[in-house]
Amino acid sequence: MSRDFTPKVITANALIEGDVVYFTAKDGWTRHLGEAEVLTDEADADLRLLQAQAQTHLTVGVYLADVAPGADGPQPTHFREDFRRKGPSNLFHGKQADSLTRA
């Protein structure tokens, strides 16, 4: 029995910086999940994944990640993806350091 297709975004790591990035509807990459293209059709998701994977000069480890609609755009449905979007697991690096300076 096949599972129903759930909404997804395409995610990867930026090749140079290593940051988590998301594929946009304009064939670019963003560091903000809320700007990612949400894919609701399996065939479309497969095609977009191939297009994203072709950008080997920009990203590494491209894959589809499950999301759910949220008030501020797509939200991860799996712990791993929520953890990835928050940045490094130790403070004073990357996105977590930026949030400390903004507080």
**Domain presence at residue 73:** yes
13: nearest Cα among 67, 63, 48: 63
Q: How many residues does the chain have?
A: 103
**Domain presence at residue 82:** yes
Residue 8's pLDDT band, with cuts at 50, 70 and 90, is: very high
Please give the Cα distance from 45 to 8 (Å, whole number).
Answer: 8
* Total structural domains within the chain: 1
**Domain presence at residue 3:** no
**Domain presence at residue 29:** yes
Q: What is the pLDDT of residues 44-67, one digit of tens each?
A: 999 999 999 999 999 999 999 999
C-alpha triplet 53, 42, 80: angle, nearest 5°: 65
Residue-level pLDDT at 2: 64
Domain that residue 76 falls in: 8-102
**Domain presence at residue 1:** no
Please give the Cα distance from 76 to 33 (Å, whole number).
Answer: 9
Q: What is the pLDDT of residues 27-48, one digit of tens each?
A: 999 999 999 999 999 999 999 9
Residue 74: is its pLDDT beyond 90?
A: yes
- Which position has the token pair 């000069």? 57
Please give the Cα distance from 68 to 56 (Å, whole number).
Answer: 27
**Domain presence at residue 95:** yes
